[in-house]
Amino acid sequence: MKCPLCDSDSEPVVLRSSGARTVEAKRCTQCNGFWFPRPLSDRLDITSVQQFETGAPNYSVQASDVVCPNDNTLLERSDHDLNPHSGQYWSCPDCNGQFFPRGQLALYTQWQIDNQPGTPAAIGAMTRTQATTGILSISGLFVMVMASLSNLNYQAASTQTLPSTGPNVLTLLLLAVTYLAGTILAVLGRKLPVILLGWGVIAICLVGFSVIIFGP
């Protein structure tokens, strides 16, 4: 099989997954890139990968340079890190094969290790994100409630006669409770649909607060 990047010959290699299962791949004898005929379903063992990885990671690959060796389809780039030099690999949209340029397979495997649930890095990142989300959401709630109360006091001081427990106060209370519920979902949610639901509730409540403060 020819390499997707440099069209050189590739040799078969056998890697190990974290569950000690074998994973077959092709390794280019020229550019040292790895081709997997099917997506990686299990995380690879980092020691197994490092036995075949040579040289510094290649960050200069362009999307137009990588073509699937099976069906000549242009491969699609994926990023898997937020570092200055983002980790990269390429996938075929037709056969789902994956190509990792030199050094990128080790980066990808280490990224999976660092971000698997339960690791200090993953827990720390999740905790910081949740804390920031919670602080911003609670701060926004405080500002909206204070602005709404100021608006209600202004209306009460005007020539209009408003009941002390009018619908605006009840609406404000309901919005505040709903906003807190949305914040809890956005901060403590572990699955993306739950987090998105929380942010959706927060957005609806912000619209409600805007109507109370500025009027319909």
Q: Domain segments of the chain: what residues?
A: 10-115, 120-214
Position 12 scores a pLDDT of 94
Q: What torsion do the CA atoms of 109, 114, 117, 118 make, to the nearest 10 degrees?
A: 140
55: region left, alpha or beta (phi > 0 left; psi from -120 to 50 alpha): left
Higher pLDDT, 59 or 106: 106
Structure tokens at 145: 């409630």
Q: Is the pLDDT of residue 23 over 90?
A: yes
Does pLDDT of 90 surpass 70? yes
pLDDT in tens, 181-197: 888 877 776 677 777 88
Closest CA to 169 of 180, 156, 158, 181: 156
SS3 per-residue string spanning 136-160: HHHHHHHHHHHHHHHHHHHHHHCCC
Structure token pair of residue 196: 């998105």
Find out whether 104 and 88 touch, Cβ atoms under 8 Å. Answer: yes
Decide if pLDDT at 119 tops 50.
no
Higher pLDDT, 116 or 60: 60
pTM metric for this prediction: 0.53
**Which tens digits make up the pLDDT trace of 134-185?**
565 665 665 565 555 555 555 555 545 545 444 466 777 777 788 888 888 7
When pLDDT is cut at 50, 70 and 90, the band that residue 35 belongs to is very high
- Report which of residues 209 and 149 the model is more confident about: 209
